[in-house]
Chains A and B, each alone.
Chain A
Amino acid sequence: MVIDIKTVVTAVFLAIGCFLFIVASIGVMRFPDFYTRLHAAGKVDTMGQTFILLGLLFYSGFSLVGIKLVIIMAFIYIINPTATHFLTKAAYVRGLKPWVRGDRFEPYIEVEAAGDGGQPTRPRKPAGRLKR
């Protein structure tokens, strides 16, 4: 097996991306609260896929495959922060309280147990502020 410089640079980029993916997984598992877990889910995951796709882009060079890799990178750069923003907005509108220092567990509201056709457990904010 021939070790050339292209393979080495690709391996370094893939290693950085895999490290960021592992960090994101540990953060999603271990953070105490939904809003803090979104930091790991929104930012670190995006950077992990960025490094892995940069390594593959360096491996394949500038061709149609490279253009498709850039397209996927741009898609995920738009998609992941938009989904994170929408998750935060939905949780805030439904009344999920953030974690504060001193709480042992996550403040737990029963969103599913409302059972009255999707009515929020707390009165919604005025519609002029939060309406998109």
Chain B
Amino acid sequence: MSDITIFELAAFVIVLAAVPVLYRVVAGPNIFNRIMGVNVLGTKTVVILILVGYIYGRPDIFLDIAIVYALINFTAVLAFLRYVETGRLDK
């Protein structure tokens, strides 16, 4: 117990909190529920990446990875929603 830091505990709790969202992604009734679940999982992934950086003692490089992951997640969600909404990507 004495070896567990608060960052490891917080990362473990967030991983446990990702399980119901994963259920919604797998069993969601339509495509919009799945995209919403993937968006929520992306936010949780960014926070877990930052916490992993603090666990390893090198938060600077993991913060760069987290910034890149947040932007890629946002772009992917917007592109996929544009495809679902209009059926094409070029306008």
| A80 touching B43 in the complex, CB below 8 Å, given contacts A38-B36, A91-B32 | yes
Shortest CB–CB separation between residue B83 and chain A, in angstroms?
Answer: 8
Number of interface residues of A (CB under 8 A): 57
A64 proximity list for chain B (CB < 8 A):
60
Q: Which residue of A lies closest to B6 (CB)?
A: A11
Instruction: Report the bound CA distance from A128 to B37 in whole Å.
Output: 30
User: Could you say which of A17, A21, A49, A68 has the most chain B C-beta atoms within 10 Å of its C-beta?
Assistant: A21
How would you classify the secondary structure of chain A's contact residues: helix, strand, loop or mixed? helix
Partner of B36 from the list A37, A109, A110, A111 (CB cut-off 8 Å) is: A37
Shortest CB–CB separation between residue A40 and chain B, in angstroms?
Answer: 8
How would you classify the secondary structure of chain B's contact residues: helix, strand, loop or mixed? helix
Instruction: Report the bound CA distance from A99 to B86 in whole Å.
Output: 24
Number of A-B contacts (CB under 8 A): 150
Partner of B63 from the list A25, A29, A65 (CB cut-off 8 Å) is: A65
A68 proximity list for chain B (CB < 8 A):
60, 63-64, 67
Q: Which residues of B32-91 are within 8 A (CB) of A?
A: 32-33, 35-37, 39-40, 43-44, 46-47, 50-51, 54, 59-60, 63-64, 66-67, 70-71, 73-74, 77-78, 81-88
| Contacts A/B (CB < 8 Å), 30 sampled | A14-B7, A17-B47, A18-B17, A21-B17, A22-B16, A22-B17, A25-B21, A26-B20, A28-B20, A29-B21, A41-B37, A41-B40, A53-B50, A56-B54, A60-B59, A64-B60, A65-B60, A68-B64, A72-B46, A72-B66, A72-B67, A75-B67, A76-B46, A83-B39, A86-B77, A87-B81, A90-B85, A94-B32, A94-B85, A109-B30
Known contacts A53-B47, A118-B87; can you find 8 more A-B pairs with CB under 8 A?
A15-B10, A24-B17, A72-B66, A72-B70, A79-B74, A80-B43, A96-B30, A108-B29
